[in-house]
Amino acid sequence: MPTISVKRDLLFKALGQSFTDEEFGFLCFDYGLELDDVTSERQMLQKEQGAVVGKDVSDEIIYRIDIPANRYDLLCLEGLVTALLVFRKKIAYPNYRVQLPANPKSLQHLKILPDTARIRPYAVSAVLRDVTFTAESYASFIDLQDKLHQNVARKRTLVAIGTHDLDTIQGPFTYDALPPKDIKFKPLNQTKEFTAPELMEFYSTHAQLKQYLPIIRDSPVYPIIKDANGVVLSLPPIINGDHSKITLQTKNVFIEVTATDLHKAHIALETLVTAFSCYCGSKYQIEPVEVEWVDGSKHRTPELKSRKEIINAKKANKFIGS
């Protein structure tokens, strides 16, 4: 069962109400969650490191909440707040919309080339327009991607998410797989270019990224996303390129999700865009990307399919013994 850490004051502000720890614990219980711990950044670091931490470490109260393994939508503050507000009947369920751009020529395209079938055959994509990030929402955006990578993506073996500043790149985009020696780009937060073999060696001692290298290391081809000018956006599932990195000033976000499991790719993409479309200029509106598969068929993603479930309350209560 995954656990998320959210700042209590940010959570209460988003919920529009303050609670005692006990009251919030009961709210979690009623919804099917568990308030696992009430702590702070300082206390967590002291517990992990077993030593006194610096003065610059925050004492702000943090709630650690256990989330059901199948509720990927609750793995960030935004999704949790939406769910609790709907549960408490404070808001209606958001009307998430897939909206084509006003100018058809602005529709982004992603073409999947045949060699991707040798390593990571699927890709889906979307665009978030006119986004306004704060330091907190930006951190949550990055953290949700990590949570999805660790859970539904099974440590990136099934799915890898790449997010990019759309205003720094040019569509149409291409998803290909190339021999490692033919790949060269500047990875995220680095100052020089690496070939793919050099990059694999460079990150072999990296605390976080080294665990993902075996996913593609021995393959004769590595997956790669490029723009129309040949700019490398990402080498999934290892790292994004520095050229298109997201910042607090980013307004338009291009999201690409590559995968060995198409169903999981859709889940990851739709979880991310629904959670953060609340920060778009047109709230809850997501712009699709036209993805061309190897067979030439074209599909617009995300799909955002919904369904209605009809439940007999009497039978449900009988099954759960209440």
157 and 80 in a common domain: no
Structure tokens at 188: 């995220």
249 and 102 in a common domain: yes
185: amino acid identity, one letter: F
Assess whether pLDDT exceeds 90 at residue 234. yes
149 and 78 in a common domain: no
* Cβ atoms of 162 and 206 closer than 8 Å: no
- Picking from 65, 87, 109, the residue at the C-terminal end of a domain is 87
State the CATH number of the domain containing residue 82. 3.30.56.10
DSSP per-residue codes, 146-203 = HHHHHTTTTTTTSEEEEEEEGGGS-SSEEEEEE-GGG-EE-BTT-SS-EEHHHHHHHG
Measured in whole angstroms, how far is the alpha carbon of residue 229 from the centre of its chain? 26
Confidence band of 261 (pLDDT split at 50, 70, 90): very high
114 and 73 in a common domain: no
Nearest in space to 144 (alpha carbons), one of 27, 285, 2: 2
Segment 13-25 mean pLDDT: 96
Structure tokens at 181: 């020696």
148 and 269 in a common domain: yes
State the CATH number of the domain containing residue 142. 3.50.40.10
Domain count, the chain: 2
* pLDDT value at residue 50: 63
211 and 74 in a common domain: no
For residue 310, is it within any domain? no
53 and 15 in a common domain: yes
The parent domain of residue 221 ranges over 97-301
For residue 322, is it within any domain? no
For residue 157, is it within any domain? yes
* Cβ atoms of 104 and 300 closer than 8 Å: no
* Cβ atoms of 127 and 196 closer than 8 Å: no
264 and 186 in a common domain: yes
Structure tokens at 8: 């209590």
For residue 148, is it within any domain? yes
Direct distance between the N- and C-terminal alpha carbons of the chain, in angstroms, rounded to an integer: 24
pLDDT of 114-139, one tens digit each?
A: 999 999 999 999 999 999 999 999 99
Segment 247-275 mean pLDDT: 98
Nearest in space to 238 (alpha carbons), one of 225, 228, 253: 225
Distances (CA, A) of 57 to 45, 46, 50, 143: 9, 10, 15, 19
* pLDDT value at residue 15: 96
Q: How many CB atoms lie within 10 A of CB 204?
A: 11
* pLDDT value at residue 58: 74
For residue 252, is it within any domain? yes
Q: How far is 88 from 86, CA to CA, in rounded Å?
A: 5
63 and 101 in a common domain: no
* pLDDT value at residue 267: 97
> What sign has the CA pseudo-torsion 161, 120, 104, 169?
positive
Assess whether pLDDT exceeds 80 at residue 54. no
pLDDT of 79-108, one tens digit each?
A: 999 999 999 999 999 999 999 998 989 999
For residue 316, is it within any domain? no
107 and 150 in a common domain: yes
294: amino acid identity, one letter: V
Residues contacting residue 249 through CB under 8 Å, at least 6 positions apart: 133
For residue 313, is it within any domain? no
260 and 130 in a common domain: yes
177 and 75 in a common domain: no
For residue 307, is it within any domain? no
